Amino acid sequence: MANFGAKRIYMQYTDLQPKEVWTHFAELNAIPRGSKKEEKAAQFVADFGANLGLEVLRDDIGNVIVKKPGQNGGENKEPVIMQAHVDMVHQKNADTVFNFDEDGIRMYVDGDWVRAEGTTLGADNGIGVAYILTLLKDKTLNHPPIEALFTIDEEAGMTGAKNLGKGLLTGKRLLNIDTEDDEEITIGCAGGIDTNVHLNFRMEETPENTKAYYVSVKGLKGGHSGMDINLGRGNANKILFRLLFQGYSRFGMRINTVDGGGLRNAIPREAFATLVVDIQKTGEFEKHLLHLGEAIKQELISTEPDLQISWENTANPVEVVNVTSQVNIIRAIYSMVNGVYRMSAEVDGLVETSSNLARVLIKDGEFTCQSLQRSSVESSKDDIANSIRACFEQIGATVENGGDYPGWRPNPDSDLLKQGIEIHRQVFKKEPKVLACHAGLETGIITGVYPGLDMISIGPTIKHPHSPDEKVKIQSVQDFWTYLISLLETL
């Protein structure tokens, strides 16, 4: 598919309101900005501020801070920090032709939603960036001094927030524009830690009298590994290894390659394996895939109605994984914790601790596995990470933890929260849901650099972030804009 480019994207959204928000979102989405490759997007917001004649700062890690004085009655008020991240999660459907390093996101209107063609939309957190850019440009609204903080690399380790420069911000109140439901005000979040596994092993010659298969698990919804982890969705990696679990003992199955999942914070939607089976047992093997596949589909019928488990014959590979390593890897993957580990005993309906088996790769004598553990309780986060470590250290793999970041402890007595609730009642004509979430937000890290911040997280309604089904609600974008400018007027 051809890249539509920035002009085509802009033309699609001139009729949506608020026009400036959608225009800035489209401009941002024309820039490739995957995590750790978002420098062009960061420079875009820095240039945006500079072109307005505003003070622009860059810290050593690359975060951008744009400072705008208060206006129209807000000149002498205390500054407000407004924060969003410029990077986005890159996920696409297997049949979508798209280069995230070069192409702009191809957006389209679908009823009351804006979506992307076969990829993530980038509303997480591009729509938050767009709101802040609109506020920086506007000259009509009443608002206090704004310190706009645009962080980098939120989705792949929060390195922007972790390395945020000191002494650059003076505000004592922070609005994080990264919550994904306009009915909610978030006041706490989970912390997280990555568990990365590596094992080198010996490949050996493919046995004679075998038949090769390419096995696919596709059609899953995927989604955000924090916000969606409690929805009972399938994990393509776990499903694939369930299919392979008894492959050697029953059918003489030998693995050549496995390629499953993608980013650490996205529930895997697809997984694939190339393998061979004893030619005398191919009929039994195909029946096994059929019967177990149907059973798995029935288990997940309500949450994953489009799950596809299929196989086809392919050319025999030259080499396969040695038997001992194959059995050890399959057992370790099969036994590792995935999904909800513990629900909160204090907050009804809140996932306390979880794990997402995000990525599995077996190729050319090397096995790697990436997973992300989240918890609002530090000791529980360590516990689940250690349980996964134990799975893989028992097979001789090297296990490393990284990307550790703290949670954000709720403050129900926050003055900013009280103001946020009151304005929500006025604008939306109903009570907001005040809650902590299982996703990771940068707020807990930022307050470690700037202690004592009064913070809430808010935003318009976004569904299915971190997956190609991501979409943002058009009416919500307009309603939230009314809420945001009303809130700023009172601060």
Q: Is the peptide bond before 125 cis (omega within 30 degrees of 0)?
A: yes
* Residues 52, 138 contacting (CB under 8 angstroms): no
Indicate left, alpha or beta for 4 from its phi (over 0: left) and psi (-120 to 50: alpha): alpha
* Residues 272, 215 contacting (CB under 8 angstroms): yes
- Residues facing residue 363 across a β-bridge: 366
Active site residue 286: no
Separation between Cα atoms, residue 83 and residue 103, nearest integer Å: 26
Active site residue 87: yes
Put the strands of the sheet holding 173-176 in their side by side order. 55-58, 64-68, 146-151, 80-85, 173-176, 454-457, 184-189, 433-437
**Pairing outcome for strands 351-363 and 366-375:** antiparallel
- Alpha-carbon distances of 85 from 181, 224, 375, rounded to whole Å: 17, 16, 22
* Residues 329, 395 contacting (CB under 8 angstroms): yes
Separation between Cα atoms, residue 266 and residue 79, nearest integer Å: 35
Q: Is the peptide bond before 468 cis (omega within 30 degrees of 0)?
A: no
- Alpha-carbon distances of 382 from 164, 201, 291, 313, 370, rounded to whole Å: 25, 28, 38, 43, 16
- Alpha-carbon distances of 280 from 251, 288, 317, 327, 407, rounded to whole Å: 9, 14, 18, 21, 54
Separation between Cα atoms, residue 459 and residue 175, nearest integer Å: 10
> What's phi and psi for 107, nearest 5 deg?
-95, 155
- Residues facing residue 6 across a β-bridge: none
Which one of 27, 38, 59, 87 is the catalytic residue? 87
Give the torsion through C-alpha atoms of 431, 432, 433, 439, to 10 deg. 180
Which one of 59, 154, 178, 184 is the catalytic residue? 154
Which amino acid does the sequence have at 360?
V
What is the set of active-site residues?
Answer: 87, 154
